[in-house]
Amino acid sequence: MDLIFEGVVKAFELLFGLDPEVMGITALSLRISGTATLISLVIGISTGTAVALAEFPGRKIVISLINTGMALPPVVVGLIVSILLWRSGPLGFLDILYTPTAIIAAQFIIATPIVTGISLAAVQQLPKKLRLQVLALGATRLQMVWILLREARLPLLAAVMAGFGGVISEVGASIMVGGNIKGYSRVLTTATVMETGRGNFEIAIALGVILLILAYLINLVLTRIQQYERPR
C-alpha cells in the first residue's frame, strides 16, 4: 500500500511542482499528436465527405476498408513505418527514423482512417434531403459541401476528438519509430512504459494522471456532442 500511496503523493508533487521533465514530455506529446491529428483532419474530412456524397462503383468496398482502417493495430503501423523508414528501406533516404517526425507520420496513419470513418458517418447521418434543400436554395457544389460540413460540425468535432484520443494514448508505434529518446522523442505513453519498467512509479503515475485527464476531457466533449439534438 505504501508503494501506491507514496507514488501518488510524489506524482502530485511532480505535477503541481511543474517538474520540467514531466512538462517537457507532455508538451512534446501534445505537439506530436496535435500535428498528426491536424494533418489527418485535412485528409480524413475531405476523403470522408467525398465518399459520403459521391456515388461510384466499389463505394461499399471503400467504406469497409475505411472502417477496417479505424481498428488498425498501432504496432502494425509501427512495423510498416519502421520498414519504410529503415536506412535500407524505400524511404530510408529521408533519414527520419527515431525522430518526432517519424512518430507524427505513424500517428497520422493511425488517425486518418478514424477521422475519415467518423466524418463519413457524420455527413451520412444528415437528412438525405438536406443536400437537395441546400441545392434548391441556389448553392454551388462547393457551397453545398461547406454548408453540409457546417451542419455536421458536432459529429466532426467527435472525429477530431476520436482521432486525437487514438494517437495520444497509442504506445506501440511511437516506441517503434520514435525510439523513446530522452528529451527528443519521448512522449507520455512511451515514458510511462519505460518508467514503470524501471520501477520509477512516481513519474509513471504522474504521466498516467496526465493521460487520464486528457482522456476525461476528450470524453467530456464527446458526451456533450452525443447529447446534442439536431433541429428537424
Partner 1 sequence: MTGSGHILSASDLLVERGGSVILDRVSCDIREGEVVSLIGPNGAGKTTLLMALSGLTRLNGGKVLFRGREVGKEIAGLPYRRKIAVVFQEPLLFNTTVFENIASGPKIRGSSSLEIRRTVSEQMERFGIPHLADRSARTLSGGEAQRTSLARAFATRPEILFLDEPFASLDPPSRDSLIRDLEGVLNQTKTTAVLATHDRTEALMMSDRIAVMLAGKIAQNGTPEEVMNRPADPDIAAFVGAETIVTGKILRRENGTFILSAGSSEIEAAGEGEPGELVILFVRPENVTLTRRATKEQSSARNMFPARIVRLIPAGFYFKAELECGFPLDAFITGRSVEEMGLKEGTEVFASFKATAIHSIRKK
By CB under 8 A, tell whether 202 contacts partner 1.
no
* Given 143, 219, 223, 226, the residue binding partner 1 (CB under 8 A): 143
Residue matched to cell numbers 467504406 = 63
Task: Name which of 2 and 229 has its Cβ closer to partner 1.
Answer: 229
Nearest to 83 by CA among 191, 173, 8: 173
* Given 4, 9, 132, 220, the residue binding partner 1 (CB under 8 A): 132
Task: Name which of 87 and 128 has its Cβ closer to partner 1.
Answer: 128
Question: Rounded to the nearest 10 degrees, what angle do helices 2-16 and 201-227 cross at?
Answer: 70
* Given 5, 87, 136, 199, the residue binding partner 1 (CB under 8 A): 136
Residues with Cβ within 8 Å of residue 65, at least 6 apart in sequence: none
By CB under 8 A, tell whether 60 contacts partner 1.
no
CA dist 55 → 51, 52, 148, 199 (Å): 8, 8, 17, 56
By CB under 8 A, tell whether 227 contacts partner 1.
no
Which range, of 12-20, 25-33, 124-132, 162-170, touches partner 1 by CB under 8 A? 124-132
Task: Name which of 151 and 195 has its Cβ closer to partner 1.
Answer: 151
By CB under 8 A, tell whether 125 contacts partner 1.
no
Rounded Cα–Cα distance for residues 193 and 208 (Å): 10
Residues composing the chain: 232
